[in-house]
Chain A
Amino acid sequence: MSLDMVQTKTLLSVRNLTVTLTGEGRDVLKDVSFDLAPRQILSVIGESGSGKTVLARALASWLSEPLAVTGGEILIEGRDLLKDPAYARTLAGREIAYVGGNPAGALDPTMTVGAQLVEKLRAVRPEISAADAREKAIRLLEAVKIPAAERRFHEYPFQYSGGMMQRAMIVDALMSDPALLIADNITQPLDVTVAAQILKLMRELNEDFSTAVLFICSSLPVACDAADEVMVLHDGRVVERQAPDALIDTPQHGYTHKLIEELPTLWAEGRDQAQPQDRDRRAIMSVRGVAKHYETRSASGKALVQAVRNVEFDVFPGDNFGIVGESGCGKSSLMRLLTGLERPDAGSIFFEDENVGEASPKRLRALRRKFQLVLQDPYGSLPPQSAIGAILEEPLKIHAIGNRAERRDRARAAMSEVGLPTDLYDSLPTGLSAGQRQRLNVARAMVLEPRLLIMDETLSALDQTEQGKLLNLFERLQAQHGFTYIFISHDLTMVRQVCSRIAVMYLGETVEVAPNERLFFDPGHPYSRALLSAAPTLEERRYRPEDCLMEGEPPSPIDLPPGCAFAGRCPQAFDRCLTENPRLRSRGGQALAACHLNDPGES
Chain B
Amino acid sequence: MFLARFLARRLAQGALIVFLVSALIFTLLRVVPGDPVRLMAGGMAPEALIEEIASDMGLRDPIYIQFGRYIGGILQGDLGQSFVRPANGAAVGGASFDDSTRSERAEVWTLIAETAPMTLQLAVLAMAFALLIALPIGIWGGLRPGGWPDRFALYISSVFVSLPNFWLGIVLALLLSVKLKLVPAIGYEGFAYTILPAFVLAIEIAPFIIRTLTVSVAGVMSQSFIDIAAVRGLTRNQIIFRHALKNSSVPLLNLLGVQFSMLLGGVLVIEFIFDYPGLGLLTINAVMQRDFPLIQGIAIVTAAAFVLINIIVDLAATTIDPRLEY
Contact = CB atoms under 8 A, between A and B. Distances in A.
Contact of B233 (A111, A156, A176, A301): A176
B56 to A, nearest CB: 52
Interface stretch (B96-104, B234-242, B297-305): B234-242
Interface in B201-246: 223-225, 228-235, 238, 242-243, 246
A92 B322 contact: no
11 contacts: A92-B232, A98-B228, A98-B232, A105-B224, A110-B247, A110-B320, A110-B321, A120-B232, A123-B235, A158-B322, A299-B326
A119 interface: yes
A105 B233 CA distance: 17
A119 B234 contact: yes
Contact of A120 (B223, B233, B246, B326): B233
Interface residues of B, number: 24
Interface in B301-326: 320-323, 325-326
A93 B321 contact: no
Nearest 10 A/B pairs, CB to CB: A93-B233, A105-B224, A124-B233, A93-B232, A108-B243, A98-B231, A110-B321, A297-B326, A123-B234, A62-B231
Contacts of A325: none
A168 interface: no
A52 interface: no
A105 B323 CA distance: 14
Given A62-B231, A93-B232, A299-B326, 15 more contacts: A60-B231, A92-B230, A92-B232, A98-B228, A100-B228, A102-B224, A108-B225, A109-B323, A110-B321, A111-B246, A120-B232, A123-B232, A123-B235, A156-B323, A158-B323
B191 interface: no
Contact of B321 (A92, A98, A109, A124): A109
A156 B232 contact: no
A120 B326 CA distance: 29
Contacts of B231: 60-62, 92-93, 98
Contacts, number: 69
A298 B323 CA distance: 11
Contacts of B321: 109-110
Contacts of B2: 299
Given A156-B322, A299-B2, A109 B225 contact: yes
A375 B36 CA distance: 64
B147 to A, nearest CB: 14
Contacts of B179: none
Given A119-B238, A156-B322, A107 B233 contact: no
A92 B233 CA distance: 5
A97 B232 CA distance: 7
B242 to A, nearest CB: 7
Interface in B23-76: none
Nearest to A300: B2
Interface string A72-111: 0000000000000000000011100110101001111111
Nearest to A105: B224
Given A119-B242, A297-B326, A94 B233 contact: yes
B224 A106 contact: yes
Residue among B5, B233, B234, B246 with max Cβ neighbours from chain A (10 Å): B233
Interface in B140-180: none
Interface string A166-179: 00000010001000
A110 B317 CA distance: 10
Contacts of A61: 231
A105 B225 contact: yes
B246 to A, nearest CB: 6
Given A93-B233, A105-B223, A299 B325 contact: yes
B230 A62 contact: yes
A85 to B, nearest CB: 13
Interface in A124-165: 124, 156, 158
* Chain B contact residues: helix, strand, loop or mixed: helix
Contacts of B228: 98, 100, 106
A120 B225 contact: no
Nearest to B232: A93
Contacts of B325: 299
A594 B83 CA distance: 78
Contacts of B229: 108
A61 B233 CA distance: 11
Interface in A30-88: 60-62
Given A102-B224, A105-B224, A110 B322 contact: yes
Contacts of A297: 326
Contacts of A111: 243, 246
Contacts of A124: 233
Nearest to B247: A110
Given A124-B233, A176-B233, A108 B247 contact: yes
B258 to A, nearest CB: 21
Contacts of A158: 322-323
B25 to A, nearest CB: 33
Interface in A294-350: 297-299, 301
A167 to B, nearest CB: 16
Nearest to A62: B231
B208 to A, nearest CB: 23
A242 B166 CA distance: 78
A110 B246 contact: yes
Contacts of A97: 232
B224 to A, nearest CB: 4
B157 to A, nearest CB: 26
A118 to B, nearest CB: 12
Given A105-B224, A108-B247, A123-B233, A301 B5 contact: yes
Contacts of A107: 225
Contacts of B247: 108-110
A120 B235 CA distance: 10
Contacts of B326: 297-299
Task: Pick the most buried of B2, B225, B242: most chain A CB atoms within 10 A of its CB.
Answer: B225
A581 B254 CA distance: 47
Q: Which of B232, B238, B243, B246 lies at the interface centre, i.e. has the most chain A CB atoms within 10 A of its CB?
A: B232
Nearest to A61: B231
Contacts of A100: 224, 228
Nearest to B326: A297
A380 to B, nearest CB: 20
A298 B326 CA distance: 6
A97 B233 CA distance: 9
A128 to B, nearest CB: 13
Contact of A123 (B223, B238, B246, B320): B238
Contacts of A93: 231-234
